[in-house]
A and B are shown apart, each in its own frame.
Chain A
Amino acid sequence: MLTYTLRRLLMLIPVLLGMALIVFFIIHAIPGDPAQIILGQQATEENVEALNEQLGLNEPLYVQFFSYLGNILTGDLGESFQTNNAISEEVWPFLAATIELSFVAMLIAIVIGVNAGIISAWFQNSWFDYSAMLLALIGVSIPIFWLGLMEQWAFSVELNWLPSSGRENVRDPVEPITHLFLIDTLIQGRLDQFVDVVRHLILPSVALATIPMAIIARITRSSMLEVMKSDYIRTARAKGMRMFGVVYKHSLKNAVIPVLTIIGLQTGLLLGGAILTETIFSWPGIGRYIYGAIDARDYPVIQSGVLIVATMFIFINLIVDLLYAAVDPRIKYH
């Protein structure tokens, strides 16, 4: 397990390098002179040239790439054109907002999705199975923006139960420490604020959880059905085990690998920033941060945003790979 982990970590180096390379070249393939864009249409030739020199844009591409690589390795992601702030400092609150939202959404999706899948498989062809799978079908088909708007209409406008947008009560903002508000409010012992943050989280996280939940439920069901036909399940029953133990111990562990794969992919997608959901619920997340940067042609921000999202995706996959090996002793890295 330890050697597997070490090897898997070593494998990260080429993957991360490749990713940095791709991000770098995509940005450089965009037509137009960055210095010209920074300085605007009225800039003189000399000014543009001077800025190019200052930014190192006259150097050959490979030199630029290595200095870029050196910068990201030291945590320097450059500065935003719009705000002139260091991106590495500016990005965290947005990232934290997305991480918090994705975490809660995935928690809902996993708890409900996995259990719905298990019970559907256990009582195959029952009314529960049929209704759960119908709901799952609706879940994957429903347009997220529509669901979000309907949630707001029903629970905020009509029933007035939950806030319709934002992360916190703007009249009583959370004092940020980690920028993960669930943690910050607990550290400060502000239970009233904690409840308020939770209330803000409910609608967007439910909207965001719908698709992953539906996919997880379907995958869990089919994987469980496959496993429950196997010989070792019959052995477990012949031992005199209760169905609950047979299902939740012997079957689930064997059925979980495809489910883990899907959970990993879906988490990666959510962390990429669900722009639609974040926009509808005015959630100040990474998706909206990058979207704003694209709108303003803020290249350093776009580049860093893509880099961060891709890195998170890679690390989620790493975690999933390590979980595979933790679940199944037969998985060895060759």
Chain B
Amino acid sequence: MTSILQVKGLKTTFFTDEGNIPAVDDIDFHLDEGEILGIVGESGCGKSVTSLSIMGLVPNPPGKITDGSITFQEEDLTKASEKRMREIRGNEISMIFQEPMTSLNPLFTIGNQLIEAVKLHEKVSKQKALHRVIEMLKVVGLPRAEEMVNEYPHQLSGGMRQRVMIAMAFICNPKILIADEPTTALDVTIQAQILHQMKELNRKRNTAVMLITHDLGVVAEVCTRVIVMYCGQIIEQADVNTIFQSPKHPYTIGLLQSVPDIREKRSRLFSIKGNVPKPGSIQKGCRFAGRCEQAHDRCFAEDPPLYKGDGQGHQVRCFLHESIEEAHHVEDTITSP
């Protein structure tokens, strides 16, 4: 499979009064055509900043991409002009956000906002655009599409609004969809429907999806590959089966253990002790060392590189797994899949 997006050494820093905060610190990954890649991690680990960096929407000031490259179809997006980025946004790479309740403009009709999305990228008449909008709304499972185009966001439920957002994201047939916690604000039954919808569109239109979430259940359900992020870094990546069956990084193991299992009788849910450190507060050593039960002296002194894990493409940033490949560095191989 060819990769459609390559992120190399990406660094996004926020310059604040309290110092420079590297929200995303030297991350490498790739997204293959038509796959669903999950990016998992706690709040503040840099998931959303990664996606905003790809879109070129990092709030500036205070944020800025300070290093690295984002290659989309042989074009480095970090060097693209604002005009070029506008052509890409919504047309080739589109995005769905977490809050369906606030992500649509309350003062414009659904039709108006969707037609706008079409007309920004294609020279079509308003009538044709409207026709396409209605079609697309039906595709995402909104039956009253003809009436809905004249309605305002406040007249729809959260689930319907998220479907409208999905319709908006897919209307120009993008090559990549970035979904930033698309189901977090929805209740469980609606969550499943929305995920199903995204998976369906991914399959039918061969759109690559980058699914950002903190919900491992969602990952297990739809993703083919998973990246686990912690404190601005990628600490483990593998295909979804490997992550769930033989996780390597103590943080990933902890994350998986803290998912409640209905078959087990446990009085207390497992939790990783301590709190997520502030990005930039750890200068040296493994960022997870302070919370890790298996940490040793070296973890506090040196930055662990990414080591090869079990399966194909499995990588883990932990000294405990140095022995697997006898300290074989894999940093170079990750960028050329």
Contacts and interface: CB of A to CB of B under 8 A. Distances in A.
A231 B103 contact: yes
Interface string A225-239: 000001110111111
A254 interface: yes
Interface in A275-301: none
A242 interface: yes
A222 to B, nearest CB: 18
Contacts of B154: 329-330
A232 B103 CA distance: 4
Nearest to B92: A240
A233 to B, nearest CB: 8
Interface string B158-181: 000000010010000000000000
Contact of A330 (B89, B99, B117, B152): B152
B105 A254 contact: yes
Contacts of B87: 240
A45 B259 CA distance: 99
B106 A240 contact: no
A328 interface: yes
A9 interface: no
Contacts of B303: none
Contacts, number: 68
Nearest to B85: A240
A192 to B, nearest CB: 45
A327 interface: yes
Contacts of A238: 55, 57, 89-90, 94-95, 97
B102 A240 contact: no
Contact of A239 (B102, B107, B120, B152): B120
Given A231-B103, A254-B106, A330-B154, A239 B97 contact: no
A328 B107 contact: yes
B88 interface: yes
Given A232-B102, A329-B152, A239 B88 contact: no
B106 A234 contact: no
B91 interface: yes
B86 interface: yes
B82 to A, nearest CB: 8
A129 to B, nearest CB: 13
Contacts of B28: none
B152 A240 contact: no
Nearest to A235: B103
B126 to A, nearest CB: 16
B116 A241 contact: yes
Given A237-B57, A329-B154, A231 B121 contact: no
Nearest to A329: B152
A238 B102 CA distance: 14
Q: Which of A241, A254, A329 has the most CB of B within 10 A?
A: A329
B276 interface: no
B55 A329 contact: no
B188 to A, nearest CB: 23
B104 interface: yes
Contact of B57 (A234, A250, A253, A254): A234
Contacts of A231: 97, 99, 102-103
Contacts of A235: 97, 103-105, 165, 168
A99 to B, nearest CB: 31
Given A234-B57, A329-B152, A240 B103 contact: no
A240 B57 contact: no
A240 B91 contact: yes
B103 A239 contact: no
A244 B94 CA distance: 20
Q: Which of A230, A240, A327, A328 has the most CB of B within 10 A?
A: A240
B32 to A, nearest CB: 23
Nearest to A257: B107
A253 B152 CA distance: 14
Contacts of A328: 106-107
A235 B114 CA distance: 11
Q: Which of A232, A238, A253, A330 has the most CB of B within 10 A?
A: A238
Interface in A232-273: 232, 234-242, 250, 253-254
A240 B121 CA distance: 8
A236 B86 contact: no
B48 to A, nearest CB: 11
A242 B86 contact: yes
A236 B117 CA distance: 8
B105 A240 contact: no
A324 to B, nearest CB: 11
B125 to A, nearest CB: 19
Interface string B42-59: 000000000000010100
B97 A240 contact: no
Nearest to B165: A235
Nearest to B106: A330
Given A234-B97, A329-B152, A239 B105 contact: no
A238 B172 CA distance: 13
Contacts of B116: 239, 241
Interface of B: 55, 57, 86-91, 94-95, 97, 99, 102-108, 116-117, 120-121, 152, 154, 165, 168
Interface of A: 230-232, 234-242, 250, 253-254, 327-330
Which 5 pairs, one residue from A and one from B, show the smallest C-beta to C-beta distance? A240-B90, A240-B89, A239-B90, A231-B102, A232-B105
14 contacts: A231-B99, A232-B103, A232-B105, A238-B55, A239-B117, A239-B120, A239-B168, A241-B90, A250-B108, A253-B108, A254-B107, A327-B107, A329-B154, A330-B106
